[in-house]
């Protein structure tokens, strides 16, 4: 596992087509933006081994999902 420390507005590039951006840090919560091509599948996990596609996770938490760039 690679562990990185980033601050607000710093970025991490993964390969040629994925970029993570630190949008905000508030207490122990970090908001990340993910820029990727539309054909890249993105899923999230909330501490369990079950992965949830981003679209379903946003609907269950009342957040909007921005399409990948």
| pLDDT at residue 57, as a whole number | 47
In the chain, where are the structural domains located? 11-61
Cα(53)–Cα(31) distance, rounded to whole angstroms? 17
- The tens digit of pLDDT for each residue in 3-25 reads 999 999 999 999 998 999 999 99
Cα(25)–Cα(8) distance, rounded to whole angstroms? 7
Average pLDDT, the chain: 78
| pLDDT at residue 22, as a whole number | 96
53: pLDDT strictly greater than 80: no
């Amino acid at each position: 596992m690679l562990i990185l420390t980033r601050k607000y507005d710093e970025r991490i590039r993964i390969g040629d087509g994925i970029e993570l951006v630190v949008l905000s840090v508030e207490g122990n919560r970090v908001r990340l933006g993910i820029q990727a091509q539309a054909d890249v599948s993105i899923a999230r996990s909330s501490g369990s081994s079950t992965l949830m596609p981003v679209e379903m996770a946003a609907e269950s938490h009342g957040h909007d999902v921005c399409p990948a760039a």
